[in-house]
Amino acid sequence: NAGVTQTPKFQVLKTGQSMTLQCAQDMNHNSMYWYRQDPGMGLRLIYYSASEGTTDKGEVPNGYNVSRLNKREFSLRLESAAPSQTSVYFCASSLTVTKGYTFGSGTRLTVV
């Protein structure tokens, strides 16, 4: 099925380790986003890419970097993981702002 694919689904990291969360969409959407979901905090935007070749910070960008590799792929990198980055991460894409987002199924990350 067409949609947004995130890998991995689960990951446990030790403090200080690095990793990259992968996201790909096959809907030819222009914009892509990374959110984190924490209890009582809702969905908070980490970074987004309005179009291929551009990236911008969201509400909570500290400790993360992103790459918009091409129109399909948008990766999120944690250079030195911290326990505060334990969360569920969602990638999303959209064609236009009024069409809303299509979300991936999420990556549950635990940093110990």
Partner 1 sequence: DQQVKQNSPSLSVQEGRISILNCDYTNSMFDYFLWYKKYPAEGPTFLISISSIKDKNEDGRFTVFLNKSAKHLSLHIVPSQPGDSAVYFCAAPETGTYKYIFGTGTRLKVLA
For 58, phi and psi rounded to 5 degrees? -105, -145
* Rounded distance between C-alpha atoms, residue 23 and residue 34, angstroms: 9
- The residue among 41 and 112 lying less far from partner 1, judged by its C-beta, is 41
Asked if residue 34 binds partner 1 (CB under 8 A), the reply is no
Q: Within 10 Å of residue 70's Cβ, how many Cβ atoms? A: 10
- Select from 1, 14, 40, 62 the one that contacts partner 1 (CB under 8 A): 40
Per-residue contact string for residues 59-88; x = within reach of partner 1 by CB under 8 A: ------------------------------
Q: What length does the chain have?
A: 112
Written as six digits, the tokens of 101 are 């987002």
Binding site for partner 1 (CB under 8 A): 4, 31, 33, 35, 40-45, 48, 50, 58, 90, 92, 94, 97-98, 100-106
